[in-house]
Structure 1
Amino acid sequence: MRKFLFVSFKYCSLFFISLLSIFPFYWMVVSTTNTTNQIAAGKLTVGNQLMNNIEQLFSAYDIPLIMWNSLKITILSVVLSLVVTSLAAFGFEKFQTKTSERIYSLLLIFMIVPLASLVIPLFKMMAGFQLVNNPLSIILLSINNLFLIFFFRQNFKSFPDGILDASKIEGAGDYTIFFKIVVPMMKSTYAAGAIYSFMNTWNSYLLPLIFLQTEDKFTMTLLISSLSTESYVANYNIQMIAIVIATFPTLILFMLMQKGFVKGMTGSLKL
């Protein structure tokens, strides 16, 4: 009886916590079908204003262009950051020297520096390269992700050195070993890194706010921010449509790569 009560309490608690976690998403989706007044009044049932809200948003903004801007910046940033950070991490782990360890320690220290404190020097640097209001500025600044270097190095610690030695004996070069042996064997780690990098870049607000200054360069985060500040009357219905649209890419990516994400976060290595 005691065990039954314990199990019942546990599952009831999990059910309640799940409802609390799901409710904001449910409220966001339902709000896309209601008017601003209905949302402000707290209506939690499905309405009939979905198509009207979509039409308002798409007539006021070039959503396909803004989505393309976000996808272009995010995809290029993810691909380049995975290549650069994993190469750096592999070098730090498998070609250790006293100098490399000092540099790695310095990089870890830099992780505590808040991005907001670097805005002015970064802006001056990008202005010197004439990259202000250019998506390339966001891409370049997103490549060097210090957390990904740390994450990949921790996973590379479990990679067998015997495989590397055997490959070198067979005459394979360092880059051949990395791209043809290491990367295929650590797909789960790269899946986890890709999801983290995608979410980090897709949801980035500060860098696009500083460097992208015209509406034709806007990303979805800047659009959502502008929707809440450009008028005296809040258009919650349009904001919710934009938020749902911005949520879809991350949701789809996670659903496609969730198994790899879980395995990668636990340091899975396919031998």
Structure 2
Amino acid sequence: MTKKNKSAIQRRLIPTYIFLIIVSFISVFPLYWMISAATNTSTDVSRGRILPGSHFMENFHNLTSQQPLWRALGNSFFYAILTTVICLLICSIAGYGFEVYHDKGKDRLFSILLLAMMVPQVATMVPLFKMFSKAGLLNTAVGFILPIISTPFMIMMFRQNARSFPVDIIEAARIDGLSEVRIFFQMFIPTMKSTYAAAAVITFMNAWNSYLWPKVIMTDNKAMTMPMLIANLITGYVTDYGMLMCGVLFCSIPTMVVFFVLQKQFAEGITGAVK
């Protein structure tokens, strides 16, 4: 390809680059505004100031003095990590079983399972609350994680990705005398690292950002999570937007860190890549 052709192609790509720059700016601007608002006073935020200020420590002090920030952060980390670990274990076993073991009623059972995706969470909120209340699971970690440790979407995701897992490896392992449990833990899990990473990102974000169910099941302030704390900052006649955005910043950092650390594995897991 000559230099003239290369320059012509580059000129044709200029509108594409401009469009991508504009879209990237629009996507990143809310994040920038959140960080900037956390450093400004409530008055500056109301007036539409977008430049960073010097009031971050003041907003942070107001936040920690009025709300149990560290307790809410600790609760959210505990619930989200516990939910992620248990959900990955249960859903991966279910997805692996649906794909590897063959049975006449397997596909029919899986179709019934997928129908649960059409039932909105709000429709099951009241029955679940009554069941958990009678079982004494209010304000407990079990009450938080039990409804979300096994989801049809995660099971379907693991089953679809398990289709790319080589069947010959399973047959060879069985011939060598490995048990089904050892095949799953020693061969399937290491091979499907990208799928586990993608599922971990989705599950952690969903558990961290969960608000409605914790609001129903967690009636004690000691069990407050970060989304519940953010909601408490909006109550009242006057809202301190600087303190509010400071709280939103602290609530957003863990999910952003998890996504940026696992973004490569997340992309591979979503596309079904197997290593």
TM-score, structure 2 length as denominator?
A: 0.95
- Identify which of 242, 256, 260 aligns with 1:251: 256
The answer to whether structure 1 residue 34 and structure 2 residue 40 are counterparts is yes
Q: Which runs of 5+ in 2 are unaligned?
A: 1-6
Q: Deviations over 1:58-83 (max 9, x none)?
A: 11122111101001100000000000
1:151 and 1:247 mapped to 2: Cα distance?
26
> What is aligned with 1:60?
66
- Identify which of 10, 16, 31 aligns with 2:16: 10
Deviates more, 1:126-135 or 1:42-51: 126-135
Q: Deviations over 1:126-148 (max 9, x none)?
A: 11211012222111112012110
Question: Does the Cα contact within 8 Å between 1:82 and 1:193 map onto a contact in 2?
Answer: yes
**Aligned AA (1:129):** A
Q: Secondary structure at the match of 1:97?
A: coil
> What is aligned with 2:272?
267
> What is aligned with 1:20?
26
> What is aligned with 2:209?
203
> What is aligned with 2:143?
137
**Aligned AA (1:246):** C
1:117 and 1:160 mapped to 2: Cα distance?
40
> What is aligned with 2:86?
80
> What is aligned with 1:45?
51
The answer to whether structure 1 residue 216 and structure 2 residue 183 are counterparts is no
Question: Does the Cα contact within 8 Å between 1:189 and 1:261 map onto a contact in 2?
Answer: yes
> What is aligned with 1:238?
243
2:240 and 2:220 mapped to 1: Cα distance?
22
1:145-224 residue pairs with structure 2 within 5 A? Answer: 145-224=151-230
Q: Deviations over 1:131-180 (max 9, x none)?
A: 01222211111201211000000000111111000001111111110000
1:108 and 1:183 mapped to 2: Cα distance?
24
1:161 and 1:189 mapped to 2: Cα distance?
17
Question: Does the Cα contact within 8 Å between 2:63 and 2:243 map onto a contact in 1?
Answer: yes
Question: Does the Cα contact within 8 Å between 2:90 and 2:149 map onto a contact in 1?
Answer: yes
Q: Which runs of 5+ in 1 are unaligned?
A: none
Identity of aligned residues (%): 38
Post-superposition offset of 1:4: 4.3
Post-superposition offset of 1:2: 6.4
> What is aligned with 2:129?
123
Q: Deviations over 1:3-45 (max 9, x none)?
A: 4443110000000001100110000000011011110000011
How many pairs align?
269
**Aligned AA (1:75):** I
1:2 and 1:233 mapped to 2: Cα distance?
58
Question: Does the Cα contact within 8 Å between 2:69 and 2:229 map onto a contact in 1?
Answer: no
2:143 and 2:171 mapped to 1: Cα distance?
39
> What is aligned with 1:89?
95
Question: Does the Cα contact within 8 Å between 1:135 and 1:212 map onto a contact in 2?
Answer: no
